[in-house]
Amino acid sequence: MSSPYTFADPRLAKLDGFEVEIDEARERADIILGRPPYNVVAMPQRDQLRLTFETLDEDQRVRIIVLRAEGEHFSSGGNIGGFMEASPEHVSKLAWNIAAPARCAKPVIVANRGYCFGVGFELSLACDFRIASETTQYALPEQKLGQIPGSGGSARLQKMVGITRTKDIVMRSKRISAKQALEWGIATECVPDSELEKATDKLVDELRTFSPLAQRTAKKLLNDTEDSTLAIAIELEGHCYSRLRQSEDFKEGVEAFNAKRPPKFAGR
């Protein structure tokens, strides 16, 4: 059963536009955007989201982090007025804040439905798994404001779908359906709207069956080698494999395989 998460950090004593729940039995923490109907992301909220991911990353009770939202829309984007009020120095930190899910060592799942625009899309792109309901629409509409994406959206998207499709999305402020996002490799899964929560729960349970050490290693390796040459990626993969070879989890995995029983990983 989920309960409100208690933060020791005074900067998270009063959360701006979201709440956090923890289900210790399922080793799961949920970050829930809670400013319906459109879950607009305010400027202070971005700082708090970063701090929240960093806190959950250090919490030994948490194996999986889920990012989701109240209502029929994940997020229509940022608070436009906030950009004019924020200092250039503050604005320059936006991408670092929104990249928090990617830096987090633990698997991060985002559940998208309805509008997923601007920073809502950029935040989702920084997660490891994007489960989209059939109602989801993705977009980076900043061109309509005479601006470009400023929190990693165009950069991450280009890595996923290439320059041609990224130009189509960014330069035309084009909306992409959940089905097209799945076909292009943006979404991990596309499910009926009524099954979004069920699909998210299922993925959480699946990820918990694996070694947490192996999961963290895989995520860091894949992130670190995204821009490397094939030779370097293979070299780093070999080093990571060698380190895991010495882990208790690998020993348990081999013993469980030979005994034809489910493994009991301890994360060591």
Q: How many angstroms separate the CA atoms of 79 and 62, rounded?
A: 30
Element (H, E) at 131: strand 129-133
Q: Enter the tokens of residue 260.
A: 């034809």
92 pLDDT higher than 80: no
pLDDT tens, residue by residue, 17-52: 999 999 999 999 999 999 999 999 998 999 999 999
- The chain-wide mean pLDDT, for the chain, equals 94
Label residue 236 by pLDDT band (50, 70, 90). very high
Label residue 79 by pLDDT band (50, 70, 90). confident
pTM: 0.94
pLDDT tens, residue by residue, 151-193: 899 999 999 999 999 999 999 999 999 999 999 999 999 999 9
Indicate the pairing of strand 137-139 with strand 189-191.
unpaired
Closest to 128 in 3D by CA, of 195, 194, 67, 191: 67
Q: Whole-angstrom distance between the N-terminal and C-terminal Cα of the chain?
A: 27
**Cis peptide leading into residue 37 (ω within 30°):** yes
